[in-house]
Structure 1
């Protein structure tokens, strides 16, 4: 205890209290109010009381419970709301204490700093947050929490802790509500609100866009992001490149390279010759059979006429088409549940994708946007980003997103896109920029550049194409050591390239 700067009678023995009184009388200490003294000058009292908030509150209102907005905001601000057995407002330098009648500590409330001051359980805090404001609500720091704030907090709890934990919290709220004798109407309203966030009460009117989406089964912030991309795609004049591999054998050769690079992005790495034997000759590696089937799974859909140019908007519904494609692509990996939407959250780095419960609803909402923009590259880029952002399956989402993108391009007679190994980081970075900062420019720039690069090759002779891509550094990994080069800038007689030989974005 720092008795040298703040003296609280509640913390002192009778002898110590008398000693403090003598020092106040002698002018060594200043009396702030009954039971509180300090040697500090009056100008420093507000900062002192804010800093020693827990000590002061425990001394003035023992066994009180932090309540309402103070609990919701973590005791921020210069006003503190407490629940105790009486009503009172105590004005201190830099600190206003508003005491309301209410139950003392119950099971789940915890002591603050081991003192006789309690912080409410999460369940009690939520029930307090739903309480109506009093007549004497402080306009400067109102004790009540808005419907929007409460909804956002509940969604945050659900997303951070998971739906099972949220269900358990919902049950505990009812138990704590009984201990606190919370009005039945408030308990029922909280139950309906939590049910809406879990998607079981779609009829419940919500206060926020995100809450409305949750109640109806889709991710509203993601839909806002998709809408922004659609708005840009409607007005942006993107370059269009005709299909350069529309006939055999170019179609087959392109499908192999598309599969090879698409799998490499996801960490399925093979030597190019071994991958070629897997895709074109069906030689499944005895040591890596599942990885081999990953190569085959993408290759088959990229080559098969039934899938190569199959537009999402022309068949069934968005999510049903994705299920079918995924089931075929991942057939050799039963452990990832081919064709079944995810049941657990998936994360990549700092990005958490759409919650499992919201995946199908988000796909359905987003699928409607596919009709709003032109076929070809605009629709292809939207489809790829939707699938990448929702991440609807346990595995294979990136490969599926690129397959669907390329199918949209082929359906419009436009050049498919290969993302070479050396372009992997630019590709992933532009997706992150769109996901985290809603920046569409890097995404559109990177994808149009790499489509142009892809369309600059001929795919009639696979050996020639592989050799040329090798000299363009397509198979390299290090952006520090290499640049992605244009095929028409590569010269066999030169070991280095001029600065303008580098592909845009490479």
Structure 2
């Protein structure tokens, strides 16, 4: 035995005496019968060392073993420390923090070398077949992951990688099924793959939600649904201020104008407020920018339609109808963007990919199920906007329709809407990105709350006064202007509003005092 000891030493007939000597000298300590380590940490902390080198240890104690069953499927030890292998050992082996659980079996040509060849890892086909087999746990977790887990796994492979991936797994399973005695499981797998691919009827007893949804024709993106659930849990436990909407129709019409103006500005449709007034109230469509003008006009028509916004949305079908109807109105000036029709090609923002076209309806439906379980109007608004934004169901106009769905939830409850002024554009988009990327709901919700606390006290009954107050609260500043001038959005206080002389703003009025 070399004086330079490896981290772990397996005892043999040749080195037993030397190991015994080194144990007495304090150079080695026993991990488990037959395995020693030169790491002399306290024995009650050996499980940490074992966890850091678990696969190396399995290879030393069970050379040539095949990682199988639940362990191969999950690619890690089970939560109770179980590691399932096919091995020549005839009994399980307990080591600090773990238990190697053995069974008989054979190695196939498809099983992959693992840990430098000391172990083998089950092939994808074998993993699926083994984990479809029923098992009952004598102690700890069951040996196999079970049918529900495999159904979900196969649907995910199909969703992420297409038909080719599913067919490859099935072909690989066929090549080993007889060798490992899994003919019955192979028959189930064949029928399940056919159902997922739409080429066969569904076998009885499919239970994985994603697989059931795909077989029923409404597949969804389970990663996005997990995002929705996390946000829902956050919102479900929160209580937000109740801020009533303006009392007069005139004021609510002014709200709708500025909601439309700022919502389009966020998307890069930039007009001066006076230009937007001419588009909306005088129907003056600039010849050089007709589509941009129709974007503002379409958004305003939805935002100002109190009957549509107040209509009940108590089923997914009514939610979907409102979403398509509002998108169609927003994008009516861009027929090439297929207004009101879900996308047929994938869309992205930079490198971030939104929900795939075939998963749009199913993902929206799952999102709606969480939405309907929220009672607070602000919570519903924030949730609805994120769902639509994250799915991005249309070729274009997704941000605008998402914000309309948000404010529709508030308008239906007679609550003040959330208007996102130009100065808050970057913060708002960063909040959305943070929620998508790492689940940071706090920043997203804070931005929406700030924007609502700014818009709620506006003097909406006076259009020219509102414009002036917006100027004084820095609402029109672009992000770089705000940074360079060291300015931020400020809340319009009664003192600020009263300090602005009405006479000074009358000249800026460029629309009739009431809407037709």
TM-score (ref. length: structure 1) = 0.68
Q: CA deviation at 1:165?
A: 0.9
> Counterpart in 2 of 1:499?
none
- How many aligned positions are there? 470
Task: Give deviations 1:162-213, integer Å, cap 9, x for gaps.
Answer: 7151533321221121122163432344456667778997885455667666
2:87 is equivalent to residue 88 of structure 1 = no
CA RMSD of aligned residues (A): 5.4
Task: Give deviations 1:108-149, integer Å, cap 9, x for gaps.
Answer: x43223324222234432332222226xx4513542225565
Q: CA deviation at 1:106?
A: 3.1
Task: Give deviations 1:230-284, integer Å, cap 9, x for gaps.
Answer: 9789x9883433454449xx84x65543222011233433444554555555444
The separation in 2 between residues aligned to 1:98 and 1:460, in whole angstroms, is 75
Relative distance call for 1:453 and 1:152 in structure 2 (3 A) is farther
> Counterpart in 2 of 1:13?
none
Relative distance call for 1:383 and 1:55 in structure 2 (3 A) is closer
Partner SS, residue 91 of structure 2: strand
> Counterpart in 2 of 1:458?
461
2:482 is equivalent to residue 482 of structure 1 = no
The separation in 1 between residues aligned to 2:290 and 2:340, in whole angstroms, is 20
Are the aligned partners of 2:354 and 2:392 in contact in 1 as well (CA < 8 Å)? yes
The separation in 1 between residues aligned to 2:231 and 2:34, in whole angstroms, is 61
The counterpart of 1:124, out of the listed 126, 129, 136, is: 126
Task: Give deviations 1:326-379, integer Å, cap 9, x for gaps.
Answer: 234224545644322134666679998666444324555776899999999898
Alignment of 1:419-434 (within 5 A): 419-424=420-425
> Counterpart in 1 of 2:186?
187
Partner SS, residue 456 of structure 2: helix
Relative distance call for 1:41 and 1:490 in structure 2 (3 A) is closer
Are the aligned partners of 2:71 and 2:83 in contact in 1 as well (CA < 8 Å)? yes
Deviates more, 1:188-197 or 1:318-327: 188-197
The counterpart of 1:113, out of the listed 103, 112, 115, is: 115
Partner SS, residue 80 of structure 1: strand
Structure 2: any 5+ residue segments left out of the alignment?
501-516
The separation in 1 between residues aligned to 2:420 and 2:203, in whole angstroms, is 45
> Counterpart in 1 of 2:65?
64
Structure 1: any 5+ residue segments left out of the alignment?
11-16, 495-506
Alignment of 1:361-380 (within 5 A): 361=362, 363=364
The separation in 2 between residues aligned to 1:414 and 1:41, in whole angstroms, is 66
Relative distance call for 1:130 and 1:337 in structure 2 (3 A) is same
Are the aligned partners of 1:148 and 1:208 in contact in 2 as well (CA < 8 Å)? yes
